[in-house]
Amino acid sequence: MTTVVADDQALVRGGFGLILKAAGVDVLAEAADGEQAIAAVLQHRPDVVLMDIRMPRLDGIEATRQIVAAGAAGTRIIILTTFDLDEYVYAALSAGASGFLLKDVTPEHLVAAVQLVRTGDALLAPSVTRRLVERFARPPAAAPAESPASPRAAASGGPGCDLSALTPRELEVLGVIARGMSNAEIAADLFLSEATVKTHVTRILTKLGLRDRVQAVVLAYESGLVSPGS
């Protein structure tokens, strides 16, 4: 497993690097700003990037956006931040990050997070994702021709993704994902097997061109499929 560590504080970069190396994770490069981070990722194509959200020259949000746009599909990005409920964290998740870590994370949690994201899973706990998205998601513009309560009305207003590509059951599963449920909880709520839920989740991500569940949650709120407090 390979990583790039991007943070403008040398002590943070060095400390995280030592922790990862001790766990057998190969640190391919360190970066002190967003521009260096982009260059390192495009050169080395690491499995995971630890990306500070606030850096000089280019911040972690824009660096994340450019890395995703460059087609580094196999690279997952974890945002490093000081505050969990932060609008900048939300912006980074919208740009394509797969989760975030607080900078005071324990060594064990750091290593576990990198390993989890490497497998293609999103890092955020569903409850944290929901609180973050509910606070900062941009609601869709009102559609006068259709009721905002209609799933199909909501499906037509998604930011860049057409939810009408989903089946009614997939829309239902997406809505439950956005409410912070795990696969096991979704299975119990919808009377499905966990294997069936996993299949639905995979199809949802594929049809909508999303990297992981974090982007699915963001889309569900920004499209109006789910509303804060629902």
Averages of pLDDT over each 10 residues, the chain, 230 residues: 95 94 95 96 95 92 92 86 78 86 89 84 64 72 40 36 87 87 86 93 90 83 76
Sheet strands side by side (includes 2-6) = 26-31, 2-6, 48-52, 76-81, 99-102
pLDDT at 157: 36
pLDDT at 144 (0 to 100): 40
Residues whose CB is less than 8 angstroms from the CB of residue 104 and which lie 6 or more positions away in sequence, other chains included: none
Residue 143 CA to residue 140 CA, distance in Å, equals: 9
* CA distance linking residue 219 with residue 60, whole number of Å: 21
Residues 6+ apart with CB under 8 A from 215: 93, 94, 96, 205
**Global confidence as pTM:** 0.73
